[in-house]
Amino acid sequence: MKSFSYTITDPVGIHARPAGLLVKEAKSYDAVITITKDGKSADAKKLMALMGLGVKQGDTITVAVEEGDEEVIVEKMEDFFKNNL
């Protein structure tokens, strides 16, 4: 398992539009991608689960990748977060 932490910079956090983009990005990989905030985790491929985390600007999340080419996927997910959230 590979993971990274990221602090959300988007003024409204992970709301509907970026959550939808995140789900689409996560689904493009053959891996298990999990987002964790304050001890609560959600599958990055499930929109409602992500929204349920209530991630706001300034919150630090952990993104974990299991299976597949973990290093490449972590790098691509990190780029996604930097460019969208």
Catalytic residue check, 15: yes
Catalytic residue among 15, 46, 56, 76: 15
For the chain, give the secondary structure using H, E and C.
Answer: CEEEEEECCCCCCCCHHHHHHHHHHHHCCCCEEEEEECCEEEECCCHHHHHHCCCCCCCEEEEEEECCCHHHHHHHHHHHHHHHC
Kindly list the catalytic residues. 15
